[in-house]
Amino acid sequence: MASQVPKAGRPRSEPARRAVLTACGELLQQGGLRAATTDRIAALSGVSKATIYKWWPNKYAVALEAFLSQMNAESPDPDTGSAAEDFRLTVRGTARFYASPIGRIFAQLLAEAQSDPTEASDLIGRLVTSRRGVVRAIWDRGVLRGELRDDVDPDVALDLFFGPLVYRMLAGHAPLDERAADEVVRVALTGLNRTNRNKT
């Protein structure tokens, strides 16, 4: 009932919107964020620059949306009954995503946001927070089931799993494969202290 306002004149062209996102996505995959210049997006999509800037505030917003529309069904949302197993599956999936070509684009978007505080928060909000809800649910279930500690800040807990992945994606100082993901989960759960000797 909100958008029931009749809106005089010609409505926004949905094909144009899709063409922009498709073209941008293609350019992102081929040459990363740097290759996705507005001119090129316009040329490839057949949509004029003016139209692009009419619907997105700047080219990063376009890239962000193009990126999000590509990682739609990527992320797993497991519920095996074991928090440890759920985390293992999720962290593995995230690692795979970060290591993929699309993950590079994620890094570049995250990077770009560092210099552009205006649009950055929204960008980060949509990129990071969206995933956050899913894994938060895993955590809560684990705590409820008595598998996980209830005296830990959930944000810290989740960062213990995903921080290392982000770090490796950006700095590339160590591998970002399935073994690494599993090790992160194992150690995060059991702790680094020597006395904490127990099974995952």
Partner DNA sequence: ATATAACCGAGACGGTACGTCCCGTCTTCCA
Partner DNA sequence: TGGAAGACGGGACGTACCGTCTCGGTTATAT
CA dihedral 37, 40, 44, 49 (to 10 degrees): 80
Q: Which of residues 44-63 bind DNA (CB under 7 A)?
A: 46-51, 53-55, 58-59
37 binds DNA (CB under 7 A): yes
Binding-residue pattern over the window 14 to 53 for a second copy, x denoting contact by CB under 8 A: ------------------xxx-------------------
Rounded (10°) angle between helices 117-124 and 59-70: 10
- The token pair at 157 is 């807990």
- Cβ neighbors of 83 (< 8 A, separation 6 or more) are 138, 139, 141, 142, 145, 147, 148
Residue 17 contacts which entry, a second copy, DNA, none (Cβ below 5-8 A, type-dependent): DNA
Coil, strand or helix at 178: helix
Choices 9-17, 76-84, 96-104, 133-141; region in contact with DNA by CB under 7 A:
9-17
180 binds a second copy (CB under 8 A): yes
Please tell me the distance from the alpha carbon of residue 182 to that of residue 143, in angstroms, as a whole number. Answer: 20
Q: Are 28 and 35 in contact (CB under 8 A)?
A: yes
Instruction: Return residues touching a second copy (CB under 8 A).
Output: 32-34, 84, 104, 107-108, 110-115, 121, 124, 127-129, 132, 146-150, 152-153, 155-157, 159-160, 162-168, 170-174, 180, 183-184, 187-198, 200
Instruction: Return residues touching DNA (CB under 7 A).
Output: 6-13, 16-17, 19, 36-40, 46-51, 53-55, 58-59
